């Protein structure tokens, strides 16, 4: 590591009803990968948004490259050499890859935008980064993982001195993660300082030099990555010990009734003749690589995507589900992997988001019974430990983990018997994960049944009673938890690749 390139000292930032940053210190060296960790709502992203001019700090000092600075907006920070790659993608789907990368700094040929040169420069950039993406492809046609790689390429194209990565691997496949790590190692050699916000403990020793921990908006401490353990970091993050024991046997009785039966389901290119059963009180894990058809199967079941053929049975009775509304009427709740697009009303408050799936239960005549709505919401805010100043807080102002808990509240209020959780802990810290795991176990003990789609094999092995593995749109295998292992799952997940 080289000289210090960034010092943030005594940073304070408050929002209405929330003190987001409380006298926070942070330091970054040239050529260092410095992890920033903490539970959702700890203040990590807020601190970086203060650095890059998205938020204006209330007090404190920022010293960058030897000078005291305060950026008014992200463009000023970018021009100075500080770039942030956000967890939530900021690309424009209707534009090409190259147009997205150079937006706001387009190459011109007279009064016209020089698309040909932008395509050439983007191709050179991808070649340097060893990324296989067509610069002329529309951004909306790319997978989430490829879009994330474009965000990273855009940041690197700015000739940055500091790059902030906010959960960069959350939507990447294993091979894309390896590509990213190679890029980061190359950036280190060029003396670029990297702030790496992540919830994935296994990445700390692989890619970072130091790790700083925040809790409840305050700085807790900094550790040398190679000398620290997972438990050291977790205890600093949450102030308590969290135990994550893998499940070794299913507690579901062999004669447990079948609550959901799917037979020969076909839908589009990624759902091919899929059949399975879900039992009462069971957590059925769905594993597979990105693009294997797990999410597409779930969407076909709930009627979000049209099915071409196949039958669905609820408690032994054949049902026709042509829309998510039909699915809800049949007692199926769906928690989407893209919570902000499909799971939440961002400009509505906690109470409104919590009760929207069962609004008819809160009507008094033609008006909503606010007293009943508030009472029900407050019950779940307390039981799920949702961090919010109040139930009137807008969802957009909550952290990712707390937004996820509000979506869970929506389906708990609806009292659905079958719950489909698609990547329920993506982008969520270890403390919030533990809370959600505990809730899922409580739900199945109470007789609910859960389908859990997850890309994290430790999560699949920790929570599932049985595991369905998919590959290229087909069910490639089924494992009881007693016989399952990461190796067996990966074998089935790559059978036809």
pLDDT digits (tens, 9 = 90+) for 422-478: 988 876 767 777 888 888 898 899 899 999 999 888 889 999 999 999 998 999 999
User: Are 492 and 471 spatial neighbours (Cβ–Cβ below 8 Å)?
Assistant: yes
The whole model's pTM is what? Answer: 0.60
Tokens representing 41 are 């709502």
Query: What pLDDT score was predicted for residue 299?
Result: 94
pLDDT digits (tens, 9 = 90+) for 210-248: 999 998 889 999 999 999 988 888 778 766 555 556 788
The position carrying tokens 């799971």 is: 343
Query: What pLDDT score was predicted for residue 47?
Result: 94
Query: What pLDDT score was predicted for residue 343?
Result: 63
Given this chain, do its domains 4-238 and 258-493 carry the same CATH topology? yes
State the pLDDT confidence band at 379, using cuts at 50, 70 and 90: confident
State the pLDDT confidence band at 341, using cuts at 50, 70 and 90: low
Annotated domain spans of the chain = 4-238, 258-493
Provide mean pLDDT across the span 290-305. 91
Query: What pLDDT score was predicted for residue 318?
Result: 96
Residues in CB range of 24: below 8 A, 6 or more apart: 8, 10, 11, 12, 43, 47, 60, 214, 217, 218, 219
Distances (CA, A) of 447 to 2, 158, 263, 280, 481: 57, 53, 23, 6, 19
389: Cα separation from own chain's centroid: 23
Cα separation, 339 vs 343, whole angstroms: 4
Query: What pLDDT score was predicted for residue 153?
Result: 83
Query: What pLDDT score was predicted for residue 167?
Result: 81
High-pLDDT (> 70) share of the chain, %: 93
Q: Is 49 helix (H, G, I), strand (E, B) or coil?
A: helix
| E-state strands within 180-250 | 193-197, 210-215, 218-224
State the pLDDT confidence band at 1, using cuts at 50, 70 and 90: low
Cα separation, 10 vs 219, whole angstroms: 10
User: Are 408 and 335 spatial neighbours (Cβ–Cβ below 8 Å)?
Assistant: yes
Provide mean pLDDT across the span 195-215. 90
- Give the residues across from 214 on adjacent strands: 219
Q: Is the confidence at residue 94, as pLDDT, over 90?
A: no
Domain 4-238: give its CATH code.
3.40.50.300
User: What does DSSP assign to residue 34?
Assistant: E
Q: Is the confidence at residue 87, as pLDDT, over 60?
A: yes
| E-state strands within 242-396 | 258-267, 271-279, 283-287, 309-314, 317-319, 332-335, 363-364, 367-368
Q: Is the confidence at residue 326, as pLDDT, over 90?
A: yes
Neighbours of 179 (CB within 10 A): 18
Q: Is the confidence at residue 48, as pLDDT, over 60?
A: yes
pLDDT digits (tens, 9 = 90+) for 380-431: 788 777 888 888 888 888 877 788 788 778 877 778 899 999 988 876 767 7
Q: Is 257 helix (H, G, I), strand (E, B) or coil?
A: coil
Q: Is 264 left (phi over 0), alpha (psi -120 to 50) or beta?
A: left
Cα separation, 41 vs 199, whole angstroms: 12
Q: Is 466 helix (H, G, I), strand (E, B) or coil?
A: strand
Query: β-strands 33-37, 193-197: how paired?
Result: parallel
Q: Is the confidence at residue 123, as pLDDT, over 60?
A: yes
* Mean model confidence pLDDT for the chain: 86
- Give the residues across from 78 on adjacent strands: none
375 or 468: whose pLDDT is higher?
Answer: 468
Q: Is the confidence at residue 372, as pLDDT, over 60?
A: yes
| Main-chain phi, psi angles of 420, to 5 degrees | -110, 110
Query: What pLDDT score was predicted for residue 439?
Result: 84
Q: Rounded to 10 degrees, what is the CA torsion of 231, 232, 237, 242?
A: 20
Q: Give 258-493's CATH code, choosing from 3.40.50.620, 3.40.50.1950, 3.40.430.10, 3.40.50.300.
A: 3.40.50.300
State the pLDDT confidence band at 264, using cuts at 50, 70 and 90: very high
- Ordered DSSP codes for 320-348: ---SHHHHHHTTEEEE-SSIIIII--TTS
Cα separation, 265 vs 310, whole angstroms: 4
Provide mean pLDDT across the span 16-40. 89
Query: What pLDDT score was predicted for residue 357?
Result: 67
């Amino acid at each position: 590591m080289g000289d210090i390139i960034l010092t943030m000292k005594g940073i304070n930032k408050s929002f209405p009803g929330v003190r987001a940053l409380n006298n926070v210190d942070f330091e970054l060296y040239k050529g260092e990968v410095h992890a920033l960790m903490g539970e959702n709502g700890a203040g990590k992203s807020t601190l970086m948004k203060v650095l890059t001019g998205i938020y204006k700090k209330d007090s404190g000092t920022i010293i960058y490259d030897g000078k005291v600075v305060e950026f008014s907006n992200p463009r000023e920070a970018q021009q100075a050499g500080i770039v942030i790659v956000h967890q939530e993608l900021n690309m424009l789907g209707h534009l090409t890859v190259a147009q997205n990368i150079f937006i706001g700094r387009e190459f011109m040929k007279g009064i016209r935008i020089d698309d040909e040169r932008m395509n050439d420069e983007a191709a050179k950039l991808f070649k340097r980064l060893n990324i296989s993406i067509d610069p002329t492809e529309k951004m909306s046609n790319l997978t989430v993982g490829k879009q994330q790689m474009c965000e990273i390429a855009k940041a690197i194209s700015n000739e940055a001195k500091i790059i902030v990565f906010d959960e960069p691997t959350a939507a990447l496949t294993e091979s894309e993660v390896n590509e990213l790590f190679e890029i980061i190692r190359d950036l280190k050699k060029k003396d670029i300082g990297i702030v790496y916000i992540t919830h994935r403990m296994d990445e700390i020793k692989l890619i970072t030099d130091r790790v700083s921990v925040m809790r409840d908006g305050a700085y807790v401490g900094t550790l040398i990555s190679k000398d620290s353990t997972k438990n050291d970091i977790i205890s600093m993050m949450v102030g308590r010990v969290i135990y994550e024991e893998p499940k070794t046997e299913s507690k579901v009785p062999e004669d447990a009734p079948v609550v959901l039966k799917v037979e020969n389901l076909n839908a589009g290119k990624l759902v091919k003749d899929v059949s399975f059963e879900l039992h009462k009180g069971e957590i059925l894990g769905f594993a597979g690589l990105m693009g294997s058809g797990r999410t597409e199967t779930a969407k076909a079941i709930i009627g979000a995507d049209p099915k071409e053929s196949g039958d669905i049975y609820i408690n032994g009775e054949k049902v026709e589900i042509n829309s998510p509304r039909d699915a809800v009427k049949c007692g199926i709740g769906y928690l989407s992997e893209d919570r902000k697009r499909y799971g939440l009303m961002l400009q509505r408050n906690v109470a409104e988001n919590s009760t929207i799936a069962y609004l008819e239960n809160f009507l008094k005549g033609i008006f909503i019974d606010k007293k009943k709505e508030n009472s029900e919401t407050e019950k779940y805010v307390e039981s799920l430990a949702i961090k919010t100043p109040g139930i009137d807080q807008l969802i957009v102002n909550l952290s990712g983990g707390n937004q996820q808990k509000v979506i869970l509240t929506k389906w708990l209020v609806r009292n659905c018997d079958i719950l489909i959780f698609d990547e329920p802990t993506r982008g969520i810290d270890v403390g919030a994960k533990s809370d959600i795991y505990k809730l899922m176990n409580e739900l199945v003990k109470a007789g609910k049944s859960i389908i859990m789609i997850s890309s994290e094999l430790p999560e699949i092995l920790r929570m599932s009673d049985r595991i369905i593995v998919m590959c290229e749109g087909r069910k490639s295998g089924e494992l009881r938890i007693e016989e399952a292992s990461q190796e067996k799952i990966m074998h089935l997940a790559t059978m036809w690749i």
